[in-house]
Amino acid sequence: MKGSHLFLCLFSVSCWLNLIPAAGNKIFRLGACRVPMSVTEIRSGFTAIKADIQARDPVRTLSILSHPHSLHKVKSSDRCCITHHLFNFYVDKVFKHCKTENSFVNRKISSIANSFLSLKRKLEQCHEQNKCMCGQEATEKFQQILANYEGLNVTSAAFKSLGELNILLDWMEKSH
Distance of alpha carbon 19 from alpha carbon 40, whole angstroms: 20
φ, ψ for residue 27, nearest 5 deg: -95, 115
CA-CA distance, 32 to 70, in Å (whole number)? Answer: 21
pLDDT in tens, 39-78: 889 999 999 999 999 999 888 888 898 766 677 778 878 8
Average pLDDT of 110-125? 92
pLDDT at 49: 96
- The pLDDT mean for the chain works out to 82
**Residues 139, 143, 145, 146: what is their CA dihedral angle, to the nearest 10 degrees?**
130
> Per residue in 126-136, pLDDT tens?
888 888 888 88
pTM > 0.85: no
pLDDT of residue 69: 62
Percent of the chain with pLDDT over 70: 84
20 pLDDT exceeds 60? no
Give the residue from 158, 164, 169 showing the smallest Cα distance to 50. 164
Residue 109 has pLDDT above 90, yes or no: yes
Indicate whether 31 pLDDT > 80.
Answer: no
The ranges assigned to domains in the chain are 2-175
Number of H helices, E strands in the chain: 7, 2
Residue with more model confidence, 156 or 4: 156
Q: How far apart are CA 68 and CA 124, in angstroms?
A: 27
Most confident by average pLDDT, 13-17, 121-125, 156-160: 156-160
For residue 71, give the DSSP letter.
S
pLDDT of residue 2: 55
CATH code for the domain defined by 2-175: 1.20.1250.10
Angle at 62 between CA 161 and CA 28, to 5 degrees: 40
Q: With cut-offs at 50, 70 and 90, classify the pLDDT of residue 21.
A: very low
